[in-house]
Every structure is written in C-alpha cells, then in structure tokens.
Structure 1
Amino acid sequence: MGIKSYCGVLEFSADEGVCYIPYWMMNNLCVQEGSEVIIRSMNLQKGTFVVLKPHETKFIDLANPKAILEQELTHYSVLHKGDTINITYGGREYAIDIVSCKPDDQICCVEADIEVEFQAPKDYVEPPPPEFKKNNSAIERAEEKKNQ
C-alpha cells in the first residue's frame, strides 16, 4: 500500500463515493483533486504526547508559540507521525511536522490532554560558540608574578 494519513470526520454531507479532505492532507498523500483514495474506519487511542518540528524559526519567535499551537491543534481530530500540518496565525501559515506521537504513531486528539514538545525548527542554525579573548590584565598579572 502507498502513503497513509489519518483524519476524523467533520460531517457526512458529501455525495456517496466522495470525500473532501484538506489540502495539507492531499499534499501529505501526494494526491490531486479528483484522485481516488482508499478510506478505512479505525479506532485510535487518545493521544498523550506529541513532538512537533516547525519548518521556520519565525513560528517559535511568536509571542507564545506553545499556546498558539495548543489552540490550533483543537482543529485537528487526529495526528499522525510523519504528517505535516499547517497552522494559521496572524495571517500567516506555518508548516509543522509531526515527529512522534504517544501512545501510538497515530493518535486521537478529541478531548485529549496532550503534552507538546518542540524540536528545533528545520531552518534553525546553531549560534556560533562565544569567542574567548585573553584578558590582558590577567596576562600581565601572570607575567608580574614571574618577575617577582
């Protein structure tokens, strides 16, 4: 079988044989509008923990990214390891990778208290280590002790 993703049902209003899925999920599945997909019903465990990796440091530079993310995650009924979801905040879209989930690789988020952990964003660059310069006064004191 090909690529998998998981989702919940928002409503049962589409014609028979038709389903509507969000574009982020279509991107994850590498499908276009009108493509055929196989849908199966599953029962997923309630999530307890998720590790997320933003694509951009601009997301973690927001005032309170964890609170923003926790609020935005209420729009998702399922999270799946390996998926990339999109969070919209302040008129911008931020891509976030689902790195891992517990207790399983796919979890139900509905009425679940999920602990969230961040990894460094994809575009994060480790700052260079601080440069240590010799303190001239310390060198002078060491030389003075030798001369005494």
Structure 2
Amino acid sequence: MNVWRQLLAPRPKTHVARTVGRTLLGAMLAFAGIGHLTFARVEFRDQVPELLPVDPDVVVVGSGVAEIALGAALIAVPRRRVPVGLAVALFFIAIFPGNIAQWLGGKDGFGLDTDAKRFVRLFFQPLLVLLALWSTAAWRDRPRLGARRGASRSRR
C-alpha cells in the first residue's frame, strides 16, 4: 500500500518545456485514439499482428480507448504525471510489436508504403517512450524503492 501511496503522491512541478511536451504528447495520443475509433480504423486494424488470438477490431478499439484515456490523463491530471507517464511509456512498448508486424508483413498504412519507411518508423517508438518519461519527469521523480526500504528500516 505504501508503494501505491508514493506512486500516486503529487510530485514537484516540472519545467515549462516538459509541460508543453506532455501536453502535445497527450493531444497526439487522444487524436490517435479518436482515429482508432473513427476515420483510421481500417488502417489500424491492418497493423494488428496476425499472431494475436483476438479479433483485430477488438484490439483497435481497445487500444484506441486506452490512447484517449492516456492522452486525456497526460493533459488533465498533471498531479499524477509520474504514474501516467510510466503507463504511457509501457503502452508504447506494448504496441511496438504492431509496428514490427507492419514492417515484417510489408503492410502499407499512414504513408508507410515502403519497407524503408516502415523500418525507419521502428526507431520512433523508443523516442516516444523517452518523450513520455521525460515530459512527465517520471524517471526523475519515480519512487525509489531502495530509499523507501531504508526509510522503513530506520523507523523500526
């Protein structure tokens, strides 16, 4: 319980550049999520790896809802930016296999109509993970388990 309390505790304010980055990332996620549910649904469905034992439409809708929620949280819940930033980073890692599947399967989508373009896109996913961690200062302000363990021992 103590870990969750510290994870959800408000963190120190961040620099304006981080706030702008967090807000832009949130807007981008929300827009992509809306695309999952509306105008780009077919293109997103084509990117779902065939190995997943789930209907691609379910994956697209689920990831779209998650993107909208994460994007909204990045923008509207700055006091919880650390756990939200960690969740966004994990989300970007979780959807990376879809990018790999698009490249390996040679599937066009979103202007990625060559193997070279699809391959270059793979290098942007780690940048999104880093942007999520940097813009929320999640890595800097994350609870440090070792520090908590030491503090709990000193209270005994």
* Between structures 1 and 2, the one with greater helix share: 2
Q: TM-score, normalised by structure 2?
A: 0.24
Structure possessing the higher radius of gyration over alpha carbons: 1
TM-score by length of 1: 0.25
